[in-house]
């Protein structure tokens, strides 16, 4: 498993603030392609990323998978491009709750299934090669279904639309050459 940088609180706040308010900051929302927004940071080393919120989600609790009402923070699926670090497709997911310690998140796209490791409210694939495989599946897919387990034992199932994913990632990679 490789270590992944956890986004700083300031950068995360900028992402979410820009997403929510279209704020004109050093981190700027530059475009959108269907389900995906494209951001660029021009402060210091250039970074770009695409982000999407789920089109739907549910929470299940207990043996009989009873639908549960739960409070969650922001739920986002992202792909980062950081050329100075050699990063072209870093996939991350934030659940809006702390994950169960040492748990895994699964991502299903059509018949393809991927696993992500967790830390706090974040999840990543184990390697850049896994990022590349997941991104290729996202380019071909219609939806990504992300399943995780909270520290309280609630299973969440988030569905993300993949319309515009390829165009958004291409634009982010062009912006960050």
Interatomic CA distance for residues 161 and 167, integer angstroms = 13
Which domain, by its residues, includes 77?
Answer: 9-175
pLDDT of residue 15: 47
Domain contains 41: yes
Domain contains 105: yes
Q: Do residues 26 and 154 touch, judged by C-beta distance below 8 A?
A: no
Does residue 64 carry a pLDDT above 80?
A: no
Nearest to 49 by CA among 130, 109, 135, 118: 135
Length of the chain, in residues = 177
Pairing state of beta strands 66-67 and 104-109?
Answer: unpaired
Residue 5's alpha-carbon distances to 9, 34, 42, 92, 122, in angstroms, are: 12, 28, 19, 10, 10
Domain contains 2: no
- Residue 121: how many CA atoms within 13 Å on its side-chain side? 14
pLDDT, tens digit (0-9, with 9 covering 90-100), for 15-63: 444 443 433 336 788 888 999 999 998 777 789 999 999 999 888 887 6
With vertex at residue 36, the alpha carbon angle to CA 34 and CA 41, rounded to the nearest 5 degrees, is 135
pLDDT, tens digit (0-9, with 9 covering 90-100), for 99-139: 999 999 999 999 999 999 999 999 999 999 999 999 999 99
Which pTM does this prediction carry?
Answer: 0.82
Domain contains 23: yes
Domain contains 3: no
Domain contains 24: yes
pLDDT of residue 46: 83
Interatomic CA distance for residues 173 and 90, integer angstroms = 12
Domain contains 1: no
**Can you give the CATH number for the domain in which 107 is found?**
2.60.40.1880
Residue 114 burial by Cβ neighbours in a 10 Å radius (0-12, 13-18, 19+)? buried
Domain contains 14: yes
pLDDT, tens digit (0-9, with 9 covering 90-100), for 141-159: 999 999 999 999 999 999 9
Instruction: Count up the domains in the chain and report the number.
Output: 1
């Amino acid at each position: 498993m490789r270590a992944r940088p956890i986004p700083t609180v300031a950068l995360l706040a900028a992402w979410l603030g820009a997403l929510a308010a279209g704020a004109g900051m050093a981190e700027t929302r530059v475009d959108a392609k269907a389900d995906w927004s494209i951001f660029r940071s021009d402060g210091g080393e250039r970074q770009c990323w695409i982000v999407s919120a789920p089109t739907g989600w549910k929470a299940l609790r207990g043996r009989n998978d009873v639908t549960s009402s739960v409070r969650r923070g922001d739920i986002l699926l992202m792909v980062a491009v950081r050329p100075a670090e050699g990063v072209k497709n870093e996939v991350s997911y934030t659940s809006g709750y702390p994950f169960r310690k040492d748990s895994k998140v699964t991502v299903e796209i059509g018949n393809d299934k991927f696993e992500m490791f967790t830390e706090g409210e974040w999840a990543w694939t184990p390697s850049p090669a896994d990022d590349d495989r997941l991104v290729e599946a996202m380019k071909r897919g219609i939806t990504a279904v992300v399943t995780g387990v909270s520290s309280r034992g609630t299973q969440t199932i988030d569905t993300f639309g993949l319309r515009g994913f390829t165009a958004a990632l291409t634009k982010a990679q062009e912006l960050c050459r």
